[in-house]
């Protein structure tokens, strides 16, 4: 399936860039006229994915977070957030709610939050090579009021 529109964003893994990523993705998707709830769901999931790159993948350094947003026919949106960080040893375990490797105040809910706000969540990772998170959302069709 070929996208009808696409944007790629590369940004440094600075915590200040998390808000930019969230807004940039939402701005690109705005062309589909999503509901407020849909746009908020997407912003939350993107925020969690980018934060994972910053906190976990690149915990010891600043590096690049790669974001690709693809829009397909029938209002399907796929967002890929990728890093070249440390990778995840056990993806299945990492996706369990409350599991975290960061300790401290981290709740370990990132993947659970992403999954709850998106229709589909796919995570691929290789130790020492990085992690790819694919977030998929089917936007609803809105009816316009006559007037």
Catalytic residue among 18, 22, 38, 52: 52
Catalytic residue among 48, 74, 96, 122: 48
Q: Tell me, yes or no, if 106 is annotated catalytic.
A: yes
Q: Tell me, yes or no, if 122 is annotated catalytic.
A: no
Report the length, in residues, of the chain: 147
Rounded-to-integer distance, Cα 9 and Cα 21, Å:
8
Rounded-to-integer distance, Cα 18 and Cα 45, Å:
11
Q: Tell me, yes or no, if 105 is annotated catalytic.
A: no
Instruction: Please spell the DSSP secondary structure of 22-70, one letter per residue.
Output: HHHHHHHHGGG---HHHHHHHHHHHHHHHHHIIIIITTTS--EEEEEEE
Rounded-to-integer distance, Cα 11 and Cα 73, Å:
27
HSE (side-chain half, CA atoms, 13 Å) at 132:
9
Catalytic residue among 75, 106, 122, 124: 106
Rounded-to-integer distance, Cα 146 and Cα 110, Å:
41
Question: Which residues are identified as catalytic?
Answer: 48, 52, 106
């Amino acid at each position: 399936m070929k996208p009808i529109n696409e944007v790629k964003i590369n940004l440094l893994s600075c915590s200040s860039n998390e808000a930019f990523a969230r807004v940039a993705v939402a701005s690109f998707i705005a062309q589909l006229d999503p509901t407020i709830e849909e746009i908020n769901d997407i912003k939350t999931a993107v925020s969690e994915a980018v934060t994972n790159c910053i906190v976990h993948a690149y915990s010891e350094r600043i590096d690049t977070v790669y974001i690709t947003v693809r829009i397909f026919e029938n209002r399907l949106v796929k967002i890929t957030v990728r890093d070249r960080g440390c990778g995840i040893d056990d993806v299945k375990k990492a996706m369990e709610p409350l599991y975290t490797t960061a300790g401290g105040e981290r709740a370990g809910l990132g993947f659970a939050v992403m999954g709850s706000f998106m229709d589909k969540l796919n995570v691929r990772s290789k130790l020492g090579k990085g992690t790819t998170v694919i977030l998929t959302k089917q936007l609803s069709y809105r009816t316009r009021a006559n007037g």
